[in-house]
Amino acid sequence: MKGSILQFSYPIAVSIAAIGSGLGLGRAVGSAMEAMGRQPEAAGKIQTGMIVGAAFIEALTIYALITVFLVPK
């Protein structure tokens, strides 16, 4: 019983994490592009902040994926 619940819940959890990551990255990049369009002189700082934020968002998604492989079934 416990194994079947885990086998069902892991793909759902990873897909929710992937959807959240996609939405978060889309919002971050969209906002950064808008900010760069408004203040082109600050594009370097905005881009650096966006890349750091995108790395954190992707790291959370990768953690969700790795748990599928590490947690025993």
Query: pTM for the whole thing?
Result: 0.76
pLDDT band at 2 (very low <50, low <70, confident <90, very high): low
Domains of the chain: 11-66 (1.20.20.10)
- The answer to whether residue 1 scores a pLDDT higher than 70 is no
pLDDT band at 3 (very low <50, low <70, confident <90, very high): low
CA of residue 12 relative to chain centroid, distance: 15
The residue with tokens 């492989």 is 69
The arithmetic mean of pLDDT across residues 41-56, rounded, is 94
Q: What percent of the chain has pLDDT over 70?
A: 93
25: left (phi over 0), alpha (psi -120 to 50) or beta: alpha
pLDDT in tens, 4-36: 787 788 888 888 988 999 999 999 999 999 999
